[in-house]
Protein backbone atom coordinates (compact mmCIF):
# COMPACT_ATOMS: atom_id res chain seq x y z
CA UNK A 1 0.00 0.00 0.00
CA UNK A 2 1.46 3.36 -1.04
CA UNK A 3 2.00 5.95 1.63
CA UNK A 4 0.05 9.23 1.34
CA UNK A 5 1.89 11.93 -0.62
CA UNK A 6 1.71 14.26 2.40
CA UNK A 7 4.25 12.09 4.26
CA UNK A 8 7.73 13.53 3.80
CA UNK A 9 10.27 11.21 2.14
CA UNK A 10 12.76 13.81 0.86
CA UNK A 11 15.68 14.48 3.21
CA UNK A 12 16.01 18.15 2.21
CA UNK A 13 12.30 18.76 2.76
CA UNK A 14 12.55 17.06 6.15
CA UNK A 15 15.54 19.22 7.06
CA UNK A 16 13.67 22.45 6.20
CA UNK A 17 10.45 21.47 7.97
CA UNK A 18 12.08 20.03 11.09
CA UNK A 19 14.10 23.25 11.23
CA UNK A 20 10.84 25.23 11.24
CA UNK A 21 9.54 23.08 14.07
CA UNK A 22 12.73 23.68 16.07
CA UNK A 23 12.26 27.45 15.64
CA UNK A 24 8.92 27.16 17.44
CA UNK A 25 9.38 24.31 19.94
CA UNK A 26 12.28 23.07 22.02
CA UNK A 27 11.78 19.44 21.04
CA UNK A 28 13.70 18.20 24.09
CA UNK A 29 11.25 19.76 26.54
CA UNK A 30 7.89 18.37 27.66
CA UNK A 31 4.85 19.87 29.31
CA UNK A 32 4.40 21.41 31.87
CA UNK A 33 7.74 23.09 31.08
CA UNK A 34 7.65 26.06 28.73
CA UNK A 35 8.16 24.11 25.50
CA UNK A 36 8.02 27.02 23.04
CA UNK A 37 11.05 28.97 21.80
CA UNK A 38 9.29 32.31 22.32
CA UNK A 39 6.22 33.75 23.99
CA UNK A 40 2.88 33.77 22.18
CA UNK A 41 -0.13 36.04 22.70
CA UNK A 42 -2.47 33.31 23.95
CA UNK A 43 -2.39 29.65 25.01
CA UNK A 44 -5.28 27.19 25.00
CA UNK A 45 -5.27 23.72 26.60
CA UNK A 46 -7.47 21.01 25.07
CA UNK A 47 -7.93 17.29 25.57
CA UNK A 48 -5.63 15.24 23.35
CA UNK A 49 -8.62 13.20 22.12
CA UNK A 50 -9.58 16.07 19.78
CA UNK A 51 -6.39 15.68 17.74
CA UNK A 52 -7.35 12.74 15.56
CA UNK A 53 -10.93 13.68 14.76
CA UNK A 54 -12.10 15.10 11.45
CA UNK A 55 -13.02 18.34 13.25
CA UNK A 56 -9.37 18.91 14.06
CA UNK A 57 -8.56 18.98 10.34
CA UNK A 58 -11.26 21.64 9.94
CA UNK A 59 -9.75 23.61 12.83
CA UNK A 60 -6.28 23.46 11.24
CA UNK A 61 -7.82 24.70 7.97
CA UNK A 62 -9.32 27.69 9.83
CA UNK A 63 -5.95 28.45 11.45
CA UNK A 64 -4.22 28.27 8.08
CA UNK A 65 -6.75 30.76 6.66
CA UNK A 66 -6.32 33.20 9.55
CA UNK A 67 -2.51 33.14 9.38
CA UNK A 68 -2.26 32.74 5.57
CA UNK A 69 -0.19 29.58 5.81
CA UNK A 70 1.04 27.88 2.64
CA UNK A 71 1.35 24.58 4.50
CA UNK A 72 0.28 23.00 7.78
CA UNK A 73 2.69 20.45 9.20
CA UNK A 74 2.82 17.73 11.82
CA UNK A 75 6.00 16.18 13.19
CA UNK A 76 6.22 13.37 15.70
CA UNK A 77 8.75 13.99 18.48
CA UNK A 78 8.29 10.65 20.24
CA UNK A 79 8.80 8.28 18.53
CA UNK A 80 11.70 10.04 16.80
CA UNK A 81 11.00 11.20 13.21
CA UNK A 82 14.38 10.02 11.90
CA UNK A 83 15.60 7.24 14.18
CA UNK A 84 12.23 5.50 14.36
CA UNK A 85 10.25 6.49 11.29
CA UNK A 86 12.83 6.80 8.57
CA UNK A 87 14.55 3.57 9.55
CA UNK A 88 11.36 1.54 9.93
CA UNK A 89 8.86 3.09 7.54
CA UNK A 90 10.91 4.74 4.75
CA UNK A 91 9.37 8.15 5.42
CA UNK A 92 10.20 10.77 8.00
CA UNK A 93 7.83 11.21 10.92
CA UNK A 94 6.47 14.33 9.33
CA UNK A 95 3.38 15.20 7.28
CA UNK A 96 2.91 18.41 5.30
CA UNK A 97 -0.58 19.41 4.17
CA UNK A 98 -1.77 22.00 1.68
CA UNK A 99 -4.43 23.97 3.56
CA UNK A 100 -6.98 23.41 0.79
CA UNK A 101 -6.79 19.64 1.27
CA UNK A 102 -6.79 19.56 5.08
CA UNK A 103 -10.47 18.86 5.63
CA UNK A 104 -10.54 15.87 3.32
CA UNK A 105 -7.02 14.51 3.77
CA UNK A 106 -6.34 15.02 7.47
CA UNK A 107 -7.81 11.80 8.91
CA UNK A 108 -6.66 9.48 6.06
CA UNK A 109 -3.06 10.73 6.36
CA UNK A 110 -2.93 10.65 10.15
CA UNK A 111 -4.58 7.20 10.39
CA UNK A 112 -3.00 5.51 7.32
CA UNK A 113 -5.73 2.90 7.21
CA UNK A 114 -5.26 1.98 10.87
CA UNK A 115 -1.54 1.17 10.46
CA UNK A 116 0.14 0.51 13.81
CA UNK A 117 2.86 3.07 12.97
CA UNK A 118 0.41 5.76 11.90
CA UNK A 119 0.47 9.15 13.59
CA UNK A 120 -2.95 8.35 15.01
CA UNK A 121 -1.49 5.26 16.70
CA UNK A 122 2.14 5.05 17.83
CA UNK A 123 3.28 8.26 16.13
CA UNK A 124 0.89 10.50 17.98
CA UNK A 125 2.45 10.06 21.40
CA UNK A 126 4.32 13.38 21.44
CA UNK A 127 4.23 15.71 18.45
CA UNK A 128 3.76 19.23 17.11
CA UNK A 129 1.57 20.99 14.54
CA UNK A 130 2.49 24.35 13.03
CA UNK A 131 1.78 26.57 10.06
CA UNK A 132 4.36 27.85 7.57
CA UNK A 133 3.72 31.41 8.81
CA UNK A 134 5.36 30.30 12.10
CA UNK A 135 2.69 32.34 13.89
CA UNK A 136 1.06 29.41 15.69
CA UNK A 137 2.04 26.00 17.00
CA UNK A 138 0.42 23.13 18.90
CA UNK A 139 2.34 20.94 21.33
CA UNK A 140 0.73 17.52 21.85
CA UNK A 141 1.51 15.02 24.60
CA UNK A 142 -0.55 11.86 24.75
CA UNK A 143 1.93 9.75 26.74
CA UNK A 144 2.12 11.81 29.92
CA UNK A 145 -0.86 14.11 30.13
CA UNK A 146 -3.40 13.39 27.37
CA UNK A 147 -3.46 17.03 26.38
CA UNK A 148 -2.48 19.51 23.70
CA UNK A 149 -1.48 23.15 24.05
CA UNK A 150 -2.34 25.61 21.28
CA UNK A 151 -0.16 28.75 21.05
CA UNK A 152 -1.20 31.69 18.84
CA UNK A 153 0.63 34.95 18.12
CA UNK A 154 -2.55 37.00 17.82
CA UNK A 155 -5.72 37.13 19.87
CA UNK A 156 -7.50 34.34 17.95
CA UNK A 157 -10.72 33.03 19.47
CA UNK A 158 -9.73 29.34 19.41
CA UNK A 159 -12.83 28.01 21.26
CA UNK A 160 -15.15 29.67 18.72
CA UNK A 161 -13.34 28.64 15.53
CA UNK A 162 -12.60 25.11 16.78
CA UNK A 163 -15.72 24.20 18.70
CA UNK A 164 -13.43 22.61 21.33
CA UNK A 165 -13.84 23.29 25.02
CA UNK A 166 -10.61 24.88 26.14
CA UNK A 167 -9.63 24.23 29.74
CA UNK A 168 -9.41 26.96 32.32
CA UNK A 169 -7.28 26.44 35.44
CA UNK A 170 -10.08 24.77 37.38
CA UNK A 171 -11.06 22.34 34.63
CA UNK A 172 -7.40 21.63 33.89
CA UNK A 173 -6.84 20.75 37.55
CA UNK A 174 -9.78 18.29 37.55
CA UNK A 175 -8.71 16.80 34.22
CA UNK A 176 -5.10 16.17 35.28
CA UNK A 177 -6.29 14.75 38.62
CA UNK A 178 -8.42 12.26 36.68
CA UNK A 179 -5.36 11.28 34.58
CA UNK A 180 -3.20 10.88 37.68
CA UNK A 181 -5.76 9.58 40.16
CA UNK A 182 -3.13 7.44 41.91
CA UNK A 183 -0.85 10.37 42.68
CA UNK A 184 -2.57 13.65 43.49
CA UNK A 185 0.75 15.40 44.19
CA UNK A 186 1.97 14.76 40.60
CA UNK A 187 -1.30 16.15 39.22
CA UNK A 188 -1.13 19.21 41.48
CA UNK A 189 2.49 20.01 40.59
CA UNK A 190 1.78 19.63 36.86
CA UNK A 191 -1.26 21.91 37.01
CA UNK A 192 0.51 24.59 39.04
CA UNK A 193 3.52 24.64 36.72
CA UNK A 194 1.40 24.66 33.55
CA UNK A 195 -0.82 27.49 34.79
CA UNK A 196 2.25 29.50 35.85
CA UNK A 197 4.12 28.94 32.58
CA UNK A 198 1.19 29.60 30.24
CA UNK A 199 -1.14 31.90 32.26
CA UNK A 200 -4.11 29.64 31.62
Q: Which residues of the chain have pLDDT under 50?
A: none
Predicted pLDDT at 1: 54
Helix orientation angle between 54-67 and 102-111, rounded to the nearest 10 degrees: 130
CB neighbour class for 17 (10 Å; exposed up to 12, middle 13-18, buried from 19): buried
Which residues make Cβ contacts (< 8 Å) with residue 26, sequence separation at least 6? 35, 36, 37
Distance CA 110, CA 41 (A): 28
77 & 173 share domain: no
Report pLDDT digits (tens) over 132-187: 999 999 999 998 889 999 999 998 999 999 999 999 989 999 999 888 878 889 88
Order of strands across the sheet that contains 147-152: 42-47, 147-152, 136-141, 126-131, 72-78, 94-97
Counting the structural domains of the chain, the total is 2
CA angle 6/133/142 to nearest 5° reads 60
Shared-domain flag, residues 139 and 56: yes
Whole domain around residue 178: which residue ranges?
Answer: 167-200
172/161 same-domain check: no
Cβ proximity of 49 and 141 under 8 Å: no
- Residue 4 belongs to a domain: no
Which of 153, 137, 7 has its CA nearest to residue 60? 137
Say whether both 15 and 59 belong to one domain. yes
Residue whose C-alpha is closest to residue 97's, from 71, 118, 115, 78: 71
Residue 1 domain-assigned (yes or no) = no
Quote the CA–CA distance of 124 and 52 in Å, as a whole number: 9
pLDDT of residue 182: 80
Q: What is the predicted pLDDT for the residue at 144?
A: 81
For residue 2, being part of any structural domain is answered with no
58 and 100 share one domain: yes
Give the side-chain half-sphere CA count within 13 A for 184: 1
Q: What is the pLDDT of residue 155?
A: 86
Confidence (pLDDT) at 184? 85
Amino acid sequence: MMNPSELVIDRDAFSVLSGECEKLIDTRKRLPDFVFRRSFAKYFAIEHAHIFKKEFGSFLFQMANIFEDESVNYMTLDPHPLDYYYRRCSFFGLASFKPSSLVGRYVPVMARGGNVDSFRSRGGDVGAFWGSSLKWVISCDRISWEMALIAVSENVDVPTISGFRCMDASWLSDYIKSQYSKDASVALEFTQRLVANYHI
